[in-house]
Amino acid sequence: MGLAAGRSRLPSCVSHAFLVFAGLFILASIPCEAQLSSSFYDNTCPNALTTIRTAIRTAVSRERRMAASLIRLHFHDCFVQGCDASILLDDSATIQSEKNAPNNNNSVRGYEVIDNVKSQVESICPGVVSCADILAVAARDASVAVGGPTWTLKLGRRDSTTSGLSQAAANLPTFRDGLDRLISLFSTKGLSTRDMVALSGSHTIGQARCLTFRDRIYDNGTNIDAGFASTRRRRCPVDNGNGDDNLAALDLMTPNSFDNNYFKNLIQRKGLLQSDQVLFNGGSTDSIVTEYSKSPSTFSSDFAAAMVKMGDIEPLLCSAGEIRKYCNIIN
């Protein structure tokens, strides 16, 4: 009788253990993507987004060009091993910084703005908000600060403990790229040709160095307006090494406002970079450029959607990576 009673309790115990195990298994099986949410910091750091927005507005009001720099910083981060803030890491004994990559060195900027934002956020919510999320939010707020679109961000990215210097040259577009190369690069990141054209529209703001457009303005090609080339030659001498760092606005018409004039410029053969003008040069993207040139609302909507997609490139989630205390070094 006692033995029988003991046996009767065993299945119940086993069943309970099984249910607990099954529950834990189900929880563990929930995709990490569920942690990417627009409300990710609502409870853990409710003032994070307001703090970031105020800091970005201040930075852009001090230097209008910074808006373009912050959007580009997020882009260059996401295209190299995902949106993980790896681009912010400095050289160390274990890190070869992406800042030294050819497409980033003496080109990508805005690091000090992100460091300042991180310091402010850490002061209210230590160890909660990732540098990767700060980059994503900063890009969105920079767009808004110069009259561009806004978008709803999914948050919850974590920061990498590694750098992708070796990947940067292969994964980042260059000012000399042709259309097929650009389409291919974006496609490998899950971005469509239309996304690529929309994201290129961020060149409606910002500036480029003479080094990046010298060949285009002196090659006497048929896909550049002669008067535009002449204007740009004034501050960009023909000889390499002479005036390489002299700057010119990517959009000659409204260089400090986020609008669709970039696409109107392309139709007039006034794209500053070769990688700009190839978007309207008798190829498959001509129709998209024409559409955006006629409809600023379509461009704004597509740009916002493409930024959300780009922000979803290979984020670190759950327990992967870390939340850095300082964005330029691992913990």
pLDDT digits (tens, 9 = 90+) for 38-91: 999 999 999 999 999 999 999 999 999 999 999 999 999 999 999 999 999 999
Share of the chain above pLDDT 70, in %: 89
pLDDT digits (tens, 9 = 90+) for 108-131: 999 999 999 999 999 999 999 999
Q: Please compute, for residue 234, the number of CA atoms within 13 A of its CA located in the half-sphere on the CB side.
A: 6
Place 4 in a pLDDT band, splitting at 50, 70 and 90.
very low
Residue 76 annotated among the catalytic residues of the structure: yes
Q: By three-state DSSP, how is residue 322 classified?
A: strand
Q: Which residue has the higher pLDDT, 13 or 318?
A: 318
What is the residue-averaged pLDDT of the chain? 91
Residue 33, pLDDT score:
45
- Distance CA(278)–CA(38), nearest Å, equals 36
Q: Please compute the mean of the pLDDT values over residues 285-309 and round it to a whole number.
A: 98
Tokens read off for 182: 């650009």
Catalytic hit among 16, 74, 76, 203: 76
Share of the chain above pLDDT 90, in %: 86
Has residue 226 got a pLDDT over 50? yes
Residue 36, pLDDT score:
84
- Distance CA(107)–CA(124), nearest Å, equals 32
Residue 253, pLDDT score:
92
- Distance CA(151)–CA(167), nearest Å, equals 29
- Distance CA(193)–CA(140), nearest Å, equals 21
If 0-12 CB within 10 Å is exposed, 13-18 middle and 19+ buried, where does residue 146 land?
buried
